[in-house]
Structure 1
Amino acid sequence: MADTAVSVPRRSPLAGAADRLAAVTRTSGGVVRLAELPFLAQVNLRLDAKGAAADAVGLALGLSLPLEPNTVVRAGELTVLWLGPDEWLVVGPPDTQRDVEHRIRAVAGDEHIAVTDVSAQRTTLLVSGARAPELLAHGCPLDLHPRAFGPGRCAQTTLARAQVVLVARDEPGAGFWVLVRSSFAGYLTDWLLDAAAEYVQES
């Protein structure tokens, strides 16, 4: 019997909004830049921060797990976000989640850990440009001034009432990652586009 399986191209939650996001970047003169970073690998990790597995996992990933609340550690293509005293989110390039999982499980030994691929749960919006903190402040309760939420910081918070994980990127001018559940991505994108309208009018 002939194989009739058809490969369906993968579609990101915000594929239909790409042109509108790019238009903000173009018409604001770059003071606000919006884009989706689709399909990033996201692996949730739970373990005892004081146990042997923490050091072993850190070595396997090429970094030390962040132990200070709401901080980020980055090494190479991997970024690890502190989510709680025994919980982290490992973020990597698209389609690397299986490799990340394998590297963690290979060194866990008999230690009690939980490793969960949550890549399909969220998408990521990149919000950057000189007015990015001001734009996000319209709907986020956090103080986003660099002194309070500077590069290398992260937080589980709300943006326009949607639950998000917000990350202040550590590269110069890199702005913020907004990790949002796929089911809320369209709503949040519409909110960001509406909030960015004032910057488009200024250009």
Structure 2
Amino acid sequence: MAGTAPTTAPLRSPLEQARERLAAVTRASGGAVRLAELPFLTQLDVRLDPKGAAADAVGLALGLTLPVEPDTVVRAGELTALWLGPDEWLVVGPPGRRDMESRIREAGGDEPVSVVDVSAQRTTLLVSGPRARDLLAHGCSLDLHPRAFRAGRCAQTTLGRTQVVLVARDEPSSGFWVLVRSSFAGYLADWLVDAAVEWTGPDLLTERRQIS
């Protein structure tokens, strides 16, 4: 019909069908392990010269300082910046913060700055609870002891043979972000459910396999 606005399909999380399985781990473990998805976070890959004028300008525009120490995280308000390389960061914000990209571009001015919206490439799993580190250690080769991987650290690594970005949140009780490519998210969710059997008991694992 003329004049009718096109309809937009609602966003669907790559882990929409896994939501109940993740919640079941939290219930069955008595909160020892808590699993949940944080869908649709805004994620921007930013590349620039950390010693150039653009670094300070972009930091000022975002209200945070881009971290220069390897594998560290800086958080300010709703935004989090992850160090990925000497001239590369991942800036993470709440869903729908598309203004972040334009603010970074404007702040960069004529300086060489690359900004790529990678929000659709990944989703984020929240792994928390008293046994979160033990759960992750089942499939991650990093030393996850709090002295080695403390709050405010991040790393590009593998978890259950899946490439992820692992982030130790700024408060120990906040747990970890596990940023994983959307195409591998379902596999990783199943791996986490399986690996949590030590705290959930075998009944939950048997139920999942029967359903699948």
TM over 0.5: yes
1:170 and 2:178 matched: no
Q: 1:200 matched to which residue of 2? A: 200
Q: Return 5+ residue gaps in structure 1 as ranges.
A: none
Matched with 1:127 is: 127
Q: Equivalents in 2 of 1:9, 1:105: separation in Å?
A: 28
Question: How many angstroms apart in 1 are the aligned matches of 2:64 and 2:116?
Answer: 19
Give 5+ residue unaligned stretches, structure 2: 203-212
* Equivalent residues in 2 for 1:52-91, closer than 5 Å: 52-91=53-92
Q: Which residue does 1:183 correspond to in 2? A: 183
Return the alpha-carbon distance in structure 2 between the equivalents of residues 50 and 7 of structure 1: 42
CA distance in 2, matches of 1:174, 1:53: 32
Q: Tell me, in whole angstroms, the C-alpha distance in 2 between the residues paired with 1:4 and 1:148.
A: 54
Deviation of the 1:4 alpha carbon: 7.4
Following the alignment from structure 2 to structure 1, what is the Cα–Cα distance between the partners of residues 201 and 153?
31
1:43 corresponds to: 44
CA distance in 2, matches of 1:107, 1:183: 33
- Return the offset for 1:90: 0.2
Within 5 Å, give how 1:77-156 maps onto structure 2. Answer: 77-96=78-97, 98-156=98-156
For residues 88-147 of structure 1, give each alpha carbon's deviation from its aligned partner in whole angstroms, at most 9, with x where no partner exists.
000000011x21101111111110010000000000000000000000000001000000
Paired letter, 2:114: A
Amino acid at match of 1:165: V
> Within 2, Cα distance between the matches of 1:172 and 1:86?
28
The answer to whether the aligner puts 1:21 opposite 2:30 as a matched pair is no
The TM-score normalised by the length of structure 2 is 0.92
Q: Which residue number in structure 2 is paired with residue 31 of structure 1?
A: 32
What SS class does the counterpart of residue 120 from structure 1 fall into?
Answer: coil
Secondary structure at the residue paired with 1:20? Answer: helix
Q: What's the CA shift string for 1:9-49, capped at 9, x where partnerless?
A: 21100000111100110110100000000000000000000
In the alignment, residue 154 of structure 2 is paired with which amino acid?
C
Task: Provide Cα deviations, 1:74-100, integer angstroms capped at 9, x if missing partner.
Answer: 00000000000000000000011x211
Distance 2:41 2:130 in 1: 25
Count of aligned residue pairs for this structure pair: 201
Scaled by the length of structure 1, what TM-score is found?
0.96
RMSD (Å), alpha carbons: 1.2
**Structure 1 equivalent of residue 207 of structure 2:** none
Letter aligned with residue 81 of structure 2: V
